[in-house]
Structure 1
Amino acid sequence: MNKIEVKHLAKRFKFAKKPLLNEVNFNLEENEIYGLFGENGAGKSTLMSMIADYNRPSAGQVLFDGQEVHENDEALSEIYFMNQDDMYTKKDKVSQIFSFVESMYQDYDVDLQAKLVKEFKLDINQKLNKLSTGYQSIVKIIISLCVPCKFILLDEPTLGLDARNREIFQSNLIETYSENPRTFVISTHIIDEIDRIISHVLLLQDGVIKMNGSIDEVSSKSYSVSGPAEDVNSYIDGVKVLDEEQLGRYKTVHFMDQLPDREVPASVDIEKMKLQKLLVYIMDRGEL
């Protein structure tokens, strides 16, 4: 079973008042889909780049099956990092870029590539620098889904994509994952668009991992309760509320706890708290 271990990882920049990352610890397990969340500047891109050995940490280590990834060609051949930097020659045609990547990977999925080119309506005879930001992202998405790596790191993969192409990306990610399971790590600000496909949540804040759990664990104890204020207050009495909204007599409260062991008033509705609501609360308040 393949696994990536991130141990005591830190990143400090010269002249910065505090480290960007400090004592970051977590594992990436085989065949999971992780959502990596955090505010702008939290260090998500830097963290992913260090996992893929694009960037060296100030302290700590990244292990693939117990071996350091740094300058480890065998380990790095199983890790693919899609980011928003200029990964390919801008003046090359898309077809040339695809041919180059295919030559680098023995089991590159050319059939899936052809399918995605058609669905995204991508003109492979265009030069990369002539494409819009969205279509440059699409080129990188196609490559990311077709490389035969066991760990795929996607940094803001839907940057510049319209709703149609975001849907194509998500549906194809689910389909290819079902047919050929491997680990995906998706860093994005559009939380509510990927919460239905991820299996695990990582929240990076203040240089550390603030939340690390399966989506089932998180959602099993995160609730939103709505109804007339007096009935809601009566039902949740004794529960630590994270946040609440009220409009007239109608009230909604959000909490991360077990449901009260009492009868639910007929006027009260209970649903799982949206992941975006929970993460935004933690990012705003810095705590649960």
Structure 2
Amino acid sequence: MKIENLEKTIDHRVILKDINLTFYQGEITGLIGQNGSGKTTFFRTLSGHYELDTGKIMIDQEDIQKNKLLKQKIFYIDEQYNFLSGYTLNKLLVFYQNAYASFNKEKYLTLTKKNNLNPNLKYRSMSKGMQGLYKMILAICSNAEYLLLDEPLDGLDFIVKKNVLGLLLDAVSENSRSIIISSHNLNELESIIDRALILKSNQIQLDYHLETLREHARKIQMVFKTKKVPQVVKENSRLLHFQGRVVTAIFEHYTEELKALIQAEQPVLFEELPLTLEDVFEANLTHEEMNNSLQGEMV
């Protein structure tokens, strides 16, 4: 799936602008952003729940606005406006079979039976955990190539969450699907995603492949003799914390040459710490504010 110059305005307010991305099959992508950053709008626009203002969404080099059948390749359930609650699982099965020509009924029946989901049960009478599990079963069995999952693990207990994650990972390994998933729990997200997108100020500000990030990035805690942070640190890092003389920073392109330049400043403490996705997210949110604070400290 290729997204070109996507923009979306709601009530005269720009929500998304200049979005250019490609999603690849066999890849799990995490969409990360603060509340109100536009994650749900992004999902609604990709799935066709919202019309595009400008831009294109292409699947197999075809514009989905021109070939509506391509929307069967995208699965999305809107958490706020979903229609599921009043229907039994039997009726929902019929609906999704009609909506997705490649719906795998046999797998659906196997999974719902395995998880003790009564077909005569109404969706709204199920616990939140069972609803989450059922939505994942629908997503998997739709056979859609692109699964858009907005906070699918939110509020699930440990056992249900484990089942949901198992279904998710099986779907990728068996069918080479592309999964785009948002979650507030970045530690949880980090354990399953291949790639992280950071949505900020209406745009995708950063696009990380986690394998590359782990290979090249480092989180370093440093203490210098004065409160002045060396220019080489400020120019090559995203500052995470700055308190007294203790500086914690993320270096996204860390090399032995850069390490030698920092150590030439004779830090009192120079220690590498474990780097997490949460660190990267926090550093990118606070980077500008931290730099402004540092300018005040150094004057």
TM superposition score category, shorter chain reference: 0.7 to 0.9
> Does the Cα contact within 8 Å between 2:223 and 2:270 map onto a contact in 1?
no
Structure 1 residue runs of 5 or longer lacking an equivalent are 231-235
Which shows bigger deviation, 163-172 or 40-49? 163-172
Whole-Å separation in 1 of the counterparts to 2:279 and 2:110: 36
Deviation at 1:186, TM superposition (A): 0.6
1:37 maps onto 2:39 in alignment = no
1:97 maps onto 2:92 in alignment = yes
Which shows bigger deviation, 236-245 or 125-134? 236-245
Which shows bigger deviation, 84-93 or 170-179? 84-93
Whole-Å separation in 2 of the counterparts to 1:223 and 1:157: 30
Which shows bigger deviation, 166-175 or 201-210? 166-175
**Secondary structure of the corresponding residue to residue 170 of structure 2:** helix
User: Which stretches of structure 1, 4 residues or longer, exceed 4 Å deviation after superposition?
Assistant: 118-121, 249-253, 261-264
Percent sequence identity is 23
Which shows bigger deviation, 192-201 or 124-133? 124-133
Alignment equivalent of 1:210, drawn from 200, 205, 211: 205
Deviation track 1:213-242 (CA, whole Å, cap 9, x = no partner) reads 32222222222246x957xxxxx9944452
Deviation at 1:12, TM superposition (A): 1.5
> Does the Cα contact within 8 Å between 2:219 and 2:272 map onto a contact in 1?
yes
Deviation at 1:42, TM superposition (A): 0.7
> Does the Cα contact within 8 Å between 1:38 and 1:283 map onto a contact in 2?
no
1:195 partner amino acid: E
1:180 maps onto 2:182 in alignment = no
Deviation at 1:66, TM superposition (A): 2.4
Alignment equivalent of 1:255, drawn from 251, 254, 272: 251
Whole-Å separation in 1 of the counterparts to 2:110 and 2:247: 48
Whole-Å separation in 1 of the counterparts to 2:273 and 2:287: 23
**Secondary structure of the corresponding residue to residue 258 of structure 1:** coil
The 5 A counterparts of 1:86-235 are: 86-117=81-112, 120-225=115-220
1:186 partner amino acid: I
1:47 maps onto 2:49 in alignment = no
Which shows bigger deviation, 70-79 or 205-214? 70-79
TM-score, length of structure 1 as denominator length: 0.82
Deviation at 1:279, TM superposition (A): 0.9
**Secondary structure of the corresponding residue to residue 134 of structure 2:** helix
What is the count of residue pairs matched by the alignment? 277
Deviation at 1:112, TM superposition (A): 3.8
> What's 1:11 paired with?
8
**Secondary structure of the corresponding residue to residue 201 of structure 1:** strand
Deviation at 1:130, TM superposition (A): 1.6
Whole-Å separation in 2 of the counterparts to 1:251 and 1:54: 45
Deviation at 1:119, TM superposition (A): 5.8
Alignment equivalent of 2:285, drawn from 261, 283, 286: 283
> What's 2:266 paired with?
none
The 5 A counterparts of 1:60-79 are: 60-70=55-65, 72-79=67-74
> Does the Cα contact within 8 Å between 1:219 and 1:272 map onto a contact in 2?
no
1:11 partner amino acid: K
Structure exhibiting the larger radius of gyration computed from Cα positions: 2
> Does the Cα contact within 8 Å between 2:250 and 2:283 map onto a contact in 1?
no
> What's 2:296 paired with?
none
**Secondary structure of the corresponding residue to residue 20 of structure 1:** strand
> Does the Cα contact within 8 Å between 1:119 and 1:168 map onto a contact in 2?
no
Whole-Å separation in 2 of the counterparts to 1:272 and 1:165: 29
Whole-Å separation in 2 of the counterparts to 1:8 and 1:40: 23
Which shows bigger deviation, 66-75 or 151-160? 66-75
